[in-house]
Amino acid sequence: MTYIAARAGYDFVSFRLILLGTPNEPDYALANNPAMLRQTKAALAGTGLRVHDIELARIYDGVNLDTYVPAMEVAAELGARHVITSIWTPRRGYAVERLAELCDLAKPFGLTMNCEFVTWADVANLRDAAGLCRSVNRDNCGILVDTLHFHRSGATLDQLDALPREWFHFAHVCDAPLEIPAAREAHIHTGRAERLYAGEGAIDIAGIVNRLPEMPYSLEIPHLERVRELGYAEHAWRCLAAARRYFSAHPREHNETRMALT
């Protein structure tokens, strides 16, 4: 992934170092694989790329947060600054307590914890993510805006304007059709397997990111059919090329756009 990102022209890479347990998921838990960790460090040193963030420290009923610490240690060792989290429990008080603990665990490593609202998760919209951050009240707690989830959750630009700028550290950028499906399964399918390149769909990407502080844009654009047809390297290059065309056509004053491959 690092070599592909470097050849395509990305500025950062973002790694999934914490397993989700999904079917056929590749195991990139570098804390448990010293050989792969050495190879990763060599790839980063040889390409000059930096690690921007890691994922995914989920909060769910019965979670043992200590199991995330080895991944945080590796993230800090690789120079990452941010960790993504999401909430998979309906128990709000429990979620607040666990997220506060997670922020405290991340603090010694110089890491922020970024709550991503996901349309099929228990924290599924910007309003609930903001309420969670207010309750947690940690200076390394933030919100990750993903343009797909922003659009499909019905979030508004005015909602973004009302939130503290320091909560936002980076954004996930992709596109999708205007129509918002009703079925949960359709949300999951798009999110994991059929996101579009920037400018291919109808999401107001520029409107969203222009309301956020200047920050890196992480291109999270899984598309299984395109990967089968094009291969990972060509797909990664097209993700970046499309994003560059889009942001050139929708310029933001005084903004140097930096991209991460997720």
What CATH number has the domain bearing residue 228?
Answer: 3.20.20.150
Please state the φ and ψ torsions of residue 219, each to the nearest 5 degrees. Answer: -85, 95
Q: What is the pLDDT of residues 23-69, one digit of tens each?
A: 788 899 999 999 999 999 999 999 999 999 999 999 999 999 999 99
List residues bridging with 88 in a β-sheet.
Answer: 60
Which residue bears the tokens 């004053």?
Answer: 253
Q: Please, which pLDDT band fits residue 262 given cuts at 50, 70 and 90?
A: confident
- Predicted pLDDT at 21: 80
Q: Please, which pLDDT band fits residue 257 given cuts at 50, 70 and 90?
A: confident
Question: Which segments of the chain does DSSP mark as H helices, in order?
Answer: 2-8, 34-47, 69-77, 92-106, 126-136, 147-153, 157-161, 184-193, 205-209, 224-230, 232-249
User: What's the structural domain count of the chain?
Assistant: 1
Residues 161 and 182: their CA atoms lie apart, in Å, by 27
- Which residues form the domain of 99? 2-261
Which of helix, strand or coil describes residue 162? coil
CA 242 to mean position of chain CA atoms: 19
Q: What is the pLDDT of residues 162-198, one digit of tens each?
A: 999 999 999 999 999 999 999 999 999 999 999 999 9
Q: What is the pLDDT of residues 104-148, one digit of tens each?
A: 999 999 999 999 999 999 999 999 999 999 999 999 999 999 999
Q: What is the pLDDT of residues 226-237, one digit of tens each?
A: 999 999 999 999
